[in-house]
């Protein structure tokens, strides 16, 4: 754990480089009215970072959900994204049910 904390500045630099180098492709957004990013704990922090980055660039609302169940936003018109830092937890997957 200590090494993760000590390496945090390097992790941020690496993440920033990945983000700057990434080339977005135009996605099909027909009918999408909302974006919900689900993540609890540390995953929720990552979801909030994404929300803060993309919200000013989108005409759609981006909501972070830190609960086991997603808000009812007209599910068929909502893009749901599950965010998991550890990829070893059930909470993000359960939120998509």
d(CA 20, CA 62): 21
pLDDT value of residue 92: 56
Distance CA 73, CA 34 (A): 7
Q: Would you state the pLDDT for residue 65?
A: 83
pLDDT digits (tens, 9 = 90+) for 1-46: 788 788 889 988 898 888 888 776 666 667 888 888 888 777 788 8
The full set of domains in the chain, from first to last, is 26-95 (3.40.50.10490)
Pick the more confident residue, 60 or 70.
60
Helix (H) or strand (E) holding 46: helix 42-54
DSSP assignment, residue 32? Answer: -
> Starting at the edge strand that comes first in sequence, how are the strands of the sheet with 62-65 ordered?
62-65, 34-38, 78-82
Please give the average per-residue pLDDT across 45-69, as a whole number. Answer: 84
Q: How confident is the model at residue 86 (pLDDT cuts 50, 70, 90)?
A: low
Q: What is the pLDDT of residue 45?
A: 84
């Amino acid at each position: 754990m200590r090494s993760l904390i000590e390496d945090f500045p390097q992790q941020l630099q690496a993440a920033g480089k990945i983000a700057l180098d990434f080339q977005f492709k135009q996605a099909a957004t027909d009918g999408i009215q909302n974006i919900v990013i689900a993540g609890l704990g540390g995953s929720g922090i990552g979801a909030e970072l994404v929300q803060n980055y993309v919200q000013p660039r989108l005409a759609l609302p981006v909501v972070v959900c830190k609960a086991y169940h997603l808000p009812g936003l007209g599910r068929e018109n909502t893009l749901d994204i599950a965010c998991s830092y550890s990829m070893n937890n059930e909470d993000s997957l359960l939120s998509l049910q």
